[in-house]
Amino acid sequence: MRTSEIKRETKETKIELSINLDGSGKSSIDSGCGFLDHMLTLFAKHSRFDLSIKCDGDTNVDFHHTAEDVGICLGQAFKEALGDKMGIVRYGNMMLPMDEALILSAVDLSGRSGLSYKLSIPTEKVGEFDTELVEEFWLAFVREAQCTVHIVQMAGTNSHHIIEGAFKSVARSLKQAVSKEIGFENEIPSTKGVL
């Protein structure tokens, strides 16, 4: 089983996170931010990763440290659970409709960090959540997971739908990328021989 547990404590957040890449999409999420909980719950469901997150953060300030630090921990756990990447597909992509929103994502589990983020979210907040934190979350994730993620908005006018579409789309792309490629289980998917 490809699993990992991460504990991280700073003066801003205290986080315990566990992930199972070969799960069924079960989740227990308590970040202290309802909207982020919603996004991470559907991320787990659509990636089929089992995900448990408990975060105590300085939400009396805002949700910035919580969103960023959860992204950091998720990226660290994802990288650790993935291990040597033997036999994985490596690449994944998904064009996902969410009502009027249409989000394209593509990922490469290359060992190199990169985020191409092209969402145009029309409002500054969804509930109490600052929509600029979506990019901060994914930046933190890709830095720690050491992967490339592209998120491109093809259509959409509703902030909630755009963000939800992005989380679902990336989840589906990651699910594809971490899956084992039949017939290549004992190979690293790179001419370098390492990822």
Place 194 in a pLDDT band, splitting at 50, 70 and 90. Answer: confident
Average pLDDT over the chain, rounded to an integer: 97
The phi and psi torsions of 20 (rounded to 5 degrees) equal: -130, 110
Question: Residue 85 has which token pair?
Answer: 């990447």
pTM (2 d.p.): 0.97
179-to-18, 109, 162, 188 alpha-carbon distances in Å: 19, 11, 26, 13
Which residue has 């679902």 as its token pair? 168
Q: Are 64 and 136 in contact (CB under 8 A)?
A: yes
- Domains of the chain with bracketed CATH: 3-178 (3.30.230.40)
In the chain, % of residues over pLDDT 90: 93
The phi and psi torsions of 58 (rounded to 5 degrees) equal: -80, 60
Cα dihedral 153, 135, 8, 180 sign: positive
Helix, strand, or coil here: 73? Answer: helix
Alpha-carbon span 136 to 33, nearest angstrom: 15
pLDDT at 185 over 90: no
Which residue type is seen at 164?
Answer: E
Alpha-carbon span 55 to 32, nearest angstrom: 7
According to DSSP, residue 122 is labeled S
List, for residues 21-51, the tens digit of each pLDDT value.
999 999 999 999 999 999 999 999 999 999 9
List, for residues 88-126, the tens digit of each pLDDT value.
999 999 999 999 999 999 999 999 999 999 999 999 999
Alpha-carbon span 185 to 88, nearest angstrom: 7
According to DSSP, residue 124 is labeled S
